[in-house]
Amino acid sequence: MVIDMQKWRCRKCGYVYDPEEGARGYKKGLKFEDLPDSFTCPTCGAQKSFFRKMRD
């Protein structure tokens, strides 16, 4: 089974959320879609809605 581990980029600062690395306060392996709506960019504080899925 293939699990979608797509990376997402913050449009405000360029930070990349990589599910394989996780983020401060969030465990590794957590898909971006499964992050709470209250998630903010750990670099610039942008809301989750500022992130866009990166193309392969």
Domain spans in the chain, listed from the N-terminal domain onward: 1-35+49-56
Q: For the domain 1-35+49-56, what is the CATH code?
A: 2.20.28.10
Per-residue pLDDT tens over the stretch 5-49: 899 999 999 999 999 999 989 999 999 999 999 999 999 999 999
Indicate the pTM of the whole model. Answer: 0.86
Task: Inform me whether the pLDDT recorded for 3 exceeds 80.
Answer: no
Task: Inform me whether the pLDDT recorded for 2 exceeds 60.
Answer: no
- Cα 24 from chain centroid? 11
Q: What is the pLDDT of residue 4?
A: 66
- DSSP 3-state percent helix, strand, coil across the chain (nearest 5): 10, 20, 70
Q: Measured between alpha carbons, how far is 10 from 39 in angstroms, rounded to an integer? A: 12
Q: How far is CA 47 from CA 30, 36, 39, in A?
A: 17, 11, 7
| Residues facing 26 on adjacent strands | 23
